[in-house]
Amino acid sequence: EAGVAQSPRYKIIEKRQSVAFWCNPISGHATLYWYQQILGQGPKLLIQFQNNGVVDDSQLPKDRFSAERLKGVDSTLKIQPAKLEDSAVYLCASSSTSPSGGPMGTQYFGPGTRLTVL
């Protein structure tokens, strides 16, 4: 079974530039998550999708961050314009559970995209 795929693995940009990250979850996983992990901290949830609908985006800085999940499969996360404090690893995860109930499911993480903003 293929894991969660993310690209690019590394990205260096200047502040005020735009950047986009791509995620392909495990086949059949309905729930997709984007996390931000700043150096020395644990991952912080930015946005959670159930199929192509947003379940939770309460911690997404919506003035500069946007995310979409077309057709309930792949997802893209965009930052426009980037700030120095956006330097972090952006992790995508997927799980097979639904928010409506059932047993707590395991989230499977991709390798992440390391973003450096200069």
Partner 1 sequence: DQQVKQNSPSLSVQEGRISILNCDYTNSMFDYFLWYKKYPAEGPTFLISISSIKDKNEDGRFTVFLNKSAKHLSLHIVPSQPGDSAVYFCAAVNAGGTSYGKLTFGQGTILTVHP
Number of chain residues interacting with partner 1 (CB under 8 A) = 30
33 binds partner 1 (CB under 8 A): yes
Q: Cα angle at 74 between 53 and 66, to 5 degrees?
A: 60
Instruction: Determine phi and psi for 85, rounding to 5 degrees.
Output: -75, -5
55 binds partner 1 (CB under 8 A): yes
Q: Which stretch binds partner 1 (CB under 8 A): 13-21, 63-71, 75-83, 103-111?
A: 103-111
Using the rule CB under 8 A, which residue among 54, 106, 116, 118 binds partner 1?
106
The answer to whether the CB of 90 falls within 8 A of the CB of 13 is no
